[in-house]
Amino acid sequence: MTCDRGGLNEIQTVDAKSNSHDKLSSEALQKAIASSLNKFDQTDKDKDGFLSLSELNQAPDKKFGAVLAKNIEQIQSLSNDEWFFENDGITKNDLAELNQSARSFPEEMRIARDIRETIERNFRTISGGDININRSELTNAANSSQFSQCDREAMAEGLERFGRIGHKVGNNSRKIKEWHLKEYEGEVAARFRSPINMANDLPK
């Protein structure tokens, strides 16, 4: 979803700055990961295919090695490429998965923010004054000229993720309450916690 919200209000200005920060952080992290992949064999002193904590602490790029070491427990579990416990260290597959997450998180975070902000702002209109929004109501809103094109795009993104945002209520059908939107945005942030934390830890 690409939407020019022209005439940004204060909240949207903050969101735009967050989006820009996420993109810059993502690019810096991807660059650091690419460098680590290039120097993987040089860092892997015992040639076992894993970067241990001690090897990371002696990495050619000491600053990023320290960032990897700080997050080793999360990173070494990313690719599920070990038997039983993921505790032997970071592999090339783990770094590749981390790079994919680093590439994805700015867009996924932006979409989650847009969905939450748009549906929250229009909640009573979409739901007809009810405390829940069902799939049919969101579908109608996403196709209604009553809303701006930008809002309709955000609602369409929400509709694609309806099963993850909404909760089962009453007759087992899924519906969205306002707090579900914040919960979903938090879940997206949690899914990308490793690359987000690492991007924040990068030397400025």
Within a domain: residue 29? Answer: yes
Asked if residues 123 and 133 have their Cβ atoms less than 8 Å apart, the reply is yes
**pTM of the model as a whole:** 0.74
At residue 174, the 3 state secondary structure works out as strand
Per-residue pLDDT tens for 74-104?
888 888 766 555 567 999 999 999 999 999 9
Tally the domains of the chain: 1
Please give the residue that has the higher pLDDT: either 196 or 41.
Answer: 41
pLDDT digits over 147-201, tens only? 999 999 999 999 999 999 999 876 668 999 999 999 999 999 988 888 888 888 8
Residue 183's domain comprises 10-201
Residue 133 has pLDDT above 50, yes or no: yes
Please indicate, yes or no, if residue 158 is contained in any of the structural domains. Answer: yes
Identify whether 5 is part of a domain: no
Q: Which of 2-6, 23-27, 109-113 has the lowest mean pLDDT?
A: 2-6
Residue 128 domain flag: yes
Q: Is residue 190 part of a domain?
A: yes
- Residue 127 inside a domain? The answer is yes
Q: Is there a domain that residue 182 lies in?
A: yes
Phi (first) and psi of residue 53, to 5 degrees? -60, -45
Burial of 105 (0-12, 13-18, 19+ CB in 10 A): buried
1 is a domain residue: no
